[in-house]
Amino acid sequence: MSIKFRGLIALLVVIGLSGLVMSCGGSSRPAGLLLVISQGATDVNSYGINLNTGVLTQINTAAPVAANSIPTAIVLDPSGNFAYVANATNGGGPGSITAYSVKSDGRLSPVGSNPGTGVNPVALAIDHGGHFLFVANQGSDTVSVFSIGANAALTQVGAFAVVTSVPGAPAATPSSVAVTPSGSFVFVANAGQNTVSVFAVDAGTGALTAVAGSPFAAGTAPAAVTVTPNGSYLYVANQGSNNISAFTICSGAVPGCATIAPGSLTSETVVSAGLAPGSLAVDPAGNFLYATDRDSNQLSGYRITPSTGVLTAMSSGAVSTGTAPVFVAIHPAGNYLYVANSGGDSISGFHLVTQSGVLGPLAAAPSASRPVGIAVK
């Protein structure tokens, strides 16, 4: 064997061993990433996603949230480089936001100064431009707005009441917040008043102004809102009436909206759901909607009619999840879907057939106690 040939073999062995080292242990770079918050363990855990199979592998790390806090919601910024977690405070006082840098190996590192929010923050949303973070505060009936700066820095713009206070009226109790992809409008589900509040967003400052006619009537105890990728339709999961409302979001290009304030909700249609529908997710192509049914231990799927936003239950029916599913998220590529099962301490995974919306179950992954929120990239 020539010296040159032996040298080539040695080089190939070194390269092979290097690749093996990089694919094992804490230094590997996951192809996809899933972050999950746990209320039982009061932390955030990372899972690598195999984008060929959808299988989750837990990364050996857990990032704590702010002291004396209970994590309630998590969201990734559009770049996927930073994550924000909403924390309710034990005892019911004002909450806070914990920001994390997302490392290339999927680990999290806290950044920033944990700015305060209103009482009991329960939901988060970021516009697609990554300019503003919106926080629904259930205990103070407000939406906190933060501008997002370099290195995930948050500067509070203000706290805006979701409804006009009326003596004797029940609390609004906001439960969910969503923003149009353009960042022009914010929607808040008010579980205590069976309504959805709509706000126009000032593009320069992030300040909110209620749209004429807001709040708009929804079903009983609305628990979640989500917007289609084209910004045309809003869906509301009504936990108390076990159904989902579909609304058209008015703009100048929508027929019948010429004299109606932009952002207004019209053309409501309703479709039945399982028991206690909660979290909602629309696939990236805007063809399908999925809803967790907490008390049915299932996930319901619906086909979206592109021209109207009307929902039709999928012929394949609902799929089983773990116990008490409370949050659903879809990978940005659109072919995998994950569900946090709060009662089962697990994450259910599904392969999503992009042409039909049919879900094929994957092996569930164990989680820390009481997972309640997921973010994926």
Residue 62: which of 97, 31, 28, 38 has the closest Cα?
38
Q: Which amino acid would we find at residue 317?
A: G
Q: How many CB atoms lie within 10 A of CB 24?
A: 9
| Mean model confidence pLDDT for the chain | 91
- Across the strands, what pairs with 225? 236
**Which DSSP string corresponds to 245-280?**
EEEEEP-TTSTT-TTS-TT-EEEEEEEE-SSSEEEE
Residues in contact with 256: Cβ distance below 8 Å, sequence separation at least 6, in sequence order: 266, 267
- Cα angle: 253, vertex 312, 357; to 5 degrees: 95
pLDDT tens digits, residue range 299-327?
Answer: 999 999 999 999 999 998 899 999 999 99
Quote the longest CA-to-CA distance of the chain.
Answer: 92
Alpha-carbon separation of residue 298 from 1, 221, 354 (angstroms): 63, 19, 20
Rounded CA separation 374/141 (Å) = 24
Residue 7 has a pLDDT of: 47
In angstroms, how far is CA 52 from the centroid of its own chain? 23
Residues near 271 by beta carbon (within 8 Å), at least 6 away in sequence: 243, 244, 246, 302, 311, 312, 313
Please state, for a pLDDT cut of 70, what percent of the chain lies above it: 92
pLDDT at 360: 97
Q: Both tokens of residue 104? A: 């290339």
Which pLDDT does position 60 carry in this prediction?
A: 76
Residue 357 contacts residue 301 (beta carbons within 8 Å): yes
Look up tokens 């005892």; give the residue. Answer: 91
Cβ-Cβ contacts under 8 Å for 278 (sequence gap 6 or more): 223, 224, 237, 239, 291, 292, 293, 294, 325, 326, 327
What per-residue confidence (pLDDT) applies to 16?
Answer: 43
pLDDT at 19 (0 to 100)? 40
Cα–Cα distance, 221 to 236 (Å, whole number): 10
Model confidence pLDDT, tens digit, residues 244-297: 999 999 987 788 788 899 999 999 999 999 999 999 999 999 999 999 999 999
Higher per-residue pLDDT: 64 or 239 = 239
Q: Are 300 and 350 spatial neighbours (Cβ–Cβ below 8 Å)?
A: no
Summarised one tens digit per residue, pLDDT across range 130-154 is 999 999 999 999 999 999 999 999 9
The answer on pLDDT for 27 being more than 50 is no
